[in-house]
Amino acid sequence: MDADPTGFETLAIHAGQDPDPTTGAVTTPVYLTSTFAQDGVGGTRGGYEYSRSGNPTRAALETCLAALEGGARGFAFASGLASTDTLLRTICAPGDHAVIPGDAYGGTYRLFAKVLDQWGLDYTPVAQQDLDAVRAAIHDHTRVIWCETPTNPLLGITDIAALAELAHDCGALLVVDNTFASPYLQQPLRLGADVVMHSTTKYLGGHSDVVGGGLVVANAELGEQVAFHQNAIGAVAGPMDAWLVLRGIKTLAVRMDRHCDNAEQIVAMLRGHPGVAEVMYPDADEIANRQMRRFGGMVSFRVADGEEKALQVCAGTRLFTLAESLGGVESLIEHPGRMTHASVAGSALEVPGDLVRLSVGIESVTDLIADLQRALG
Ligand SMILES: *Cc1c(COP(=O)(O)O)cnc(C)c1O
């Protein structure tokens, strides 16, 4: 590229994706190869030796992720949780402590509670909207504050800049899981975070056809450490998966705008519907307005007539498919209490039984609204 383009939409399509140097292919080729021929011992042609250590298709995605988040270096993994695991093993050691959200993504919580805890990483779940509670949970061994905003499924908002300050005051790092917002709507590194984590399975991939993860770090030194662990642990994204995410990212901005347009109209309909008791969408939140461009495609609501009715609504839509996951072009509906959040029933993290979560897709909003209205009765 000639000048230095900085527009988000331009970076999404071009960062890391110059035409292939060998053939001129405009679309990044899928380099389905495990190893690379060397010209003499140690003489690599393009810096590639073996695809766990580096692969050109994955490298294109990694460059693009770094550009979209405004970071020093990006990394692509086999899943969101693989990226989380690699990151925590990079920045923490046994004996360290992490402050995590009280309502962290279930898989993230399980990794802390059932895997990294055994390795020696201690953790404290805290409702991070309450900065005093975060401050109180920090102690001498605290190495990381892990943050998710908006939260799942209640769409709570955490102040990223304030958390970054708290983390840095105690010598810890702030990591933000930016899966729900995507870099188009929120850029945590620009607000002071040290690392952004993504499940690229969701909005970045955007088509419900791939599982993947990503990390973007703010500084090159941390980048070197993550690169070492990415190769040493080996939970990398394969070339085909990297290509699917890269393809999804090209349309991220236009998809996100439509996800937001549709979600806003659905929120307006739900807020005026007698069968709906409460709608969770952070459009009126002051912090969200400061740190997000718009408020995304995730909408949760409480049904007025209780859990049975909520289950009926989830079973009663035709266009909204009953399924877990989120962030794809197609609309999904789910009952967090019985599905994504069933494992926290009976704990402090339990979600209301009358709660319904939507991942609003990019279909015709008229059809989506009619589908919900019919299911609500
Ligand atoms: C899905 C998800 C993850 C985990 O990612 P996988 O790709 O499923 O491993 C982490 N955080 C959030 C917010 C998610 O939605």
Active site residue 257: no
Q: Can you name the residues that pair with 322 across neighbouring β-strands?
A: 333
- Give start-end residues of each CATH 3.40.640.10 domain in the chain: 8-249
Summarised one tens digit per residue, pLDDT across range 231-290 is 999 999 999 999 999 999 999 999 999 999 999 999 999 999 999 999 999 999 999 999
pLDDT at 341: 84
Return the pLDDT at 13.
Answer: 97
Q: What percent of the chain has pLDDT over 90?
A: 91
Q: Is residue 52 annotated as part of the catalytic site, yes or no?
A: yes
Q: Does the annotation mark 309 as catalytic? A: no
* Ligand 1: residue whose CA is nearest its atom 5: 80
Does the CB atom of residue 202 touch ligand 1 within 6 A?
Answer: yes
Q: Which residue's alpha carbon is nearest to atom 1 within ligand 1?
A: 199
Q: For residue 35, report the phi and psi dihedrals to the nearest 5 degrees.
A: -140, 165
pLDDT at position 342 is 82
- The whole-angstrom separation of Cα 176 and Cα 164 is 10
Q: Which amino acid residue places its CA nearest to atom 15 of ligand 1? A: 179
pLDDT beyond 90 at 123: yes
- For residue 296 and ligand 1, the question of a CB distance below 6 A is answered with no
In whole angstroms, give the CA distance from residue 55 to residue 35.
Answer: 9
182 lines ligand 1 (CB under 6 A): no
Whether 110 is catalytic: no
Please answer whether residues 239 and 225 qualify as being in contact, where contact means their C-beta atoms are separated by less than 8 angstroms: no
Which class would CATH give 253-376? alpha beta
Strand order of the β-sheet with 173-177 is 73-77, 213-217, 195-199, 173-177, 142-148, 97-101, 122-126
Query: In the chain, what percentage of residues exceed pLDDT 70?
Result: 99
Please give the structure tokens belonging to residue 363.
């279909």
Atom of ligand 1 lying closest to residue 326 CA? 15
In the chain, list all ranges with CATH 3.90.1150.10: 253-376
CATH top class, domain 8-249: alpha beta
Q: How far is the CA of 49 from the centre of ligand 1 (A)?
A: 30
Active-site residue among 105, 109, 184, 203? 105
Active-site residue, from 58, 73, 143, 202: 202
List, for residues 289-309, the tens digit of each pLDDT value.
999 999 999 999 999 999 999
pLDDT recorded at residue 1: 46
Rounded CA separation 113/248 (Å): 32
- Indicate if the pLDDT at residue 310 is higher than 60: yes
Q: Global pTM? A: 0.96
